[in-house]
Amino acid sequence: MGERTTVGDVRAHVFGGIIVVSWADLPGEFLAGVDPAYPDETELCVLMDGMAAGTRGRSFLAWSQYQIIAVMYDRLVAAREDISKFVMDGHADCAARIARQEGISRRKAETLMEEALVLRDRLPEVSATLRDGVTTDWQVRLIISRTYLIAADDSVAPALDAEIARTLRKRRGVWDRARLRDMVDRLVFRHDPDAVRERRREALDGRGMWTRTLEDGTAELTGVMSAENVRIAAKAINALAESACKHDGRNRGQRNSDAMFALLTGVAFECQCDRPDCEAEIPEPGSLIAPVSTAVVIHVVTDASTLAGGPGIGFLDDHGVISDEHVRDLASRDDATIKPVTPPRTRPVQAVAQSISIDDETVVYPGAQPADPYRPTTACADFVRVRDGYCTEPGCTRSAFACDLDHVAEYDHRDPSRGGSTSSENLNAKCRAGHLLKTHGDWVDVQYRDEDGRLNTEYITPEGIILHGDAETLEDLFPNLRRIRFEQAAKAPPRPRVIGPEDNPSRTRTRLADKLARRRAERARNRRQREAEHDAERQDSFDDPPPF
């Protein structure tokens, strides 16, 4: 057992020369601020702070466990190399201790050992982000899985580890599974593109079909194929499943299962509403796509130089980052359509120098339809979805191409000049649930560019708590997207609104107008606060003495 020492008010435990400091970030309100007898009197700010503190605490405990496991490995495995040729060697002994202590399987214990060694030997700076509460244990495991081709003795390993950790610490925002995966894949390809290409070839070689018997007369069918083929197959199944009428009693999963069997076997897919006046339009057997959806579309984003044969990456909608080789394979398909992000046959209305780089120009195109300034042009809508990639709700990984487009600052139909323009800088993709919460709830969201030119989103709760949005967008994958803007024309005519009898003549402003005014004031207050903090940071940098 390790020795115990005291450092101030913090108790430290010494394990094999490694000092594991107890969780010193535990605030008092986390334990004493929530009174079960009076739950309604606890401030929501305190509860949310407690959630954040708990997350940091779990991260520290996970880091401590990895440190302990690494020391156990050194004691039981590295020191017993003389018997490593046996089945029951030091590795098996170490795994057995972990498994029996934690009540987990031997395979899970071996996985913990592998992760502990990777964090110590290959990703030490990423490991430090877990210790400091910047990342969580599941995020670290994802980083390990996406960097497994980079060996500890590889020359690119230290630089890749440092860049991943630097990105995690620098970005303010949420790292959900999809965006974290995309960020790591982007950096791995930059440091070792050959490893990424080889990983794709190995993955394609492993494609196949398997079945597994489940309980109670059911079984599972699994097929592994290229990502684009899965997307096409899934859309075909969804299209056939949705051809049933609205009175069909099956849920979505049940309809998809029956539609998949119909497509694979060629039998008829039938609506099960049992109504004589059923209006379902079921395609004939052998037809891949229902008549209501005549084409399956998957979106791939890449640079022109990558498409022409240069090194780079691509983004496959609802999948993530793909290699340049994969991009060109998709572009060479007979059914592929290549379309530029900027609108064809449309000249930019202006080109101005960006503040982040004097050498770059921001090219501006029309953003709103001339006849209806509330509606974005098709090119503007496509661009916003390409730029966002996913729903902008923190933690939501729904494809932006399956989302609604929302005006971040609400469009004022009565007086469009008051703000809420239809432009790429004021539009983002939201899933239907997020869009409804924005429209009918009291949340406020803000979208702005920081001093580095990155597009940031923030969500403000009704209590005034600021929650940062996503930490990664497709602008990080393709920086040239930052040079493109779609703005509402200054002379776009406002859409007239007819005041009906439902308007209360005694009110000077409608409740909706009051709500919009409150949101504008909240955004202005937060903008002033951001600008003041930025000015203070710049002043602090000026006050620092010059280095010797």
Q: In the 8-state DSSP scheme, what is residue 399?
A: B
**Looking at residue 75, what is its pLDDT?**
87
Q: Say which residue, 495 or 482, is predicted with more confidence.
A: 482
DSSP class per residue in 56-122? HHHHHHHHHHHHHHHHHHHHHTGGGGGGTTSSSSHHHHHHHHHHHHHT--HHHHHHHHHHHHHHHHT
Q: Count other C-beta atoms under 10 Å from residue 193's C-beta.
A: 16
Of 124, 150, 170, the domain-final residue:
170
Residue 118 lies in a domain: yes
Q: Which two tokens stand for residue 270?
A: 């039938």
Domain end call among 149, 170, 191: 170
Range of the domain at 449: 350-499+506-534
Q: Please report the pLDDT score of residue 265 as a whole number.
A: 86
Confidence (pLDDT) at 113: 94
Residue 532, pLDDT > 50, answer: yes
Residues 6+ apart with CB under 8 A from 141: 115
Token pair of 112 as six digits: 């913990």
Q: What is the mean pLDDT of residues 505-532?
A: 69
Q: Distance from first CA to last CA of the chain, Å, rounded?
A: 47
CA–CA gap between residue 279 and residue 277 (Å, rounded): 6
Dihedral (CA of 514, 519, 523, 525) sign: positive
189 within some domain: no
Give the chain's mean pLDDT: 80
Q: Which pLDDT belongs to residue 542? A: 53
Closest CA relative to residue 365, chosen from 344, 394, 393: 344
Domain boundary among 131, 155, 170: 170
**Is 428 within a domain?**
yes
| Phi/psi of residue 419, nearest 5 degrees | 130, -175
Residue 58 CB neighbours (<10 A)? 15
The DSSP symbol for 487 reads E
Confidence of residue 425 (pLDDT cuts 50, 70, 90): very high
Could you give the maximum distance between any two Cα atoms of the chain, in Å? Answer: 91
Under the banding of pLDDT at 50, 70 and 90, the label for residue 266 is confident
The tally of domains found in the chain comes to 2
Lowest mean pLDDT among 55-64, 130-139, 304-313, 336-345: 336-345
Q: What is the pLDDT of residue 186?
A: 92
The long-range contacts involving 509-517, CB below 8 angstroms and separated by at least 24 positions, are: 513/412, 513/414, 516/410, 516/412, 516/420
Q: CA-CA distance, 103 to 97, in Å (whole number)? A: 10
Asked whether residue 399 is assigned to any structural domain, the reply reads yes
- Which backbone phi and psi does 406 adopt, to 5 degrees? -120, 140
DSSP bridge partners of 21: 12
Banded pLDDT at 290 (limits 50, 70, 90): very low
Tell how far CA 116 is from the center of its chain: 26
